[in-house]
Amino acid sequence: MPIIINDIEITDDEVHAEMQHHPAGGVDEARHRAARALVVRKILLLEAVNSKLLVSAENCSPLEEEQAIDALLQSNISAPVADDTSCSRYYEQNKERFIDKKTNKPLPFSLVQQYIHDYLQTRSLQTGISHYIKVLAGKANIHGFDLEGADSPLVQ
């Protein structure tokens, strides 16, 4: 069954071609993941066109698509910076995650601070992107796929 987003079709053939990039426990799950990825990409491309970052969501190269999506996300996503205070707080609340396997004691904050910083930044950015995609999906006219009903995260 084709998926229609604002009168633009994602065909079953496109979903089946995309499935190879979404390993899963079964065919149905792989199909769902592939469809989800294509829906999200199409929503972002349509918004890139609306934002004048692309002339058309059709017939552009993969590089042009990637550049437009990157520009769109950079201009619309703001993620809080993981400062020393938030990193320290995360460390204190999750010391059990930072145990030295040899001594069975918590690693010093200074050794894990960069890891925590990177983790918090990534999580914050993923949350921002996921929220933005949900907003765009709410504005889009989507038939044949329930983006909100799926339980997997929008950004992985």
Summarize pLDDT for 132-142 with one digit per residue, the tens: 999 999 999 99
What's the average model confidence in pLDDT over 19-25?
A: 92
The CA dihedral of 21, 1, 61, 128, to the nearest 10 degrees, is -70
The C-alpha angle with vertex 127 and arms to 93 and 15, in degrees rounded to 5, equals 135
Residues 120, 91: Cα–Cα separation, whole Å: 11
Asked whether residue 33 is assigned to any structural domain, the reply reads yes
Q: Range of 49's domain?
A: 3-143
What's the average model confidence in pLDDT over 94-111?
A: 95
Asked whether residue 155 is assigned to any structural domain, the reply reads no
What's the average model confidence in pLDDT over 87-105?
A: 95
- CA 134 from chain centre, in angstroms, equals 11
Predicted local confidence at residue 13, as pLDDT: 95
What's the average model confidence in pLDDT over 117-125?
A: 96
Asked whether residue 123 is assigned to any structural domain, the reply reads yes
Burial label, 115 (beta-carbon count in 10 A; 0-12, 13-18, 19+): middle
Contacts of 121 (CB under 8 A, 6+ apart): 79, 81, 82
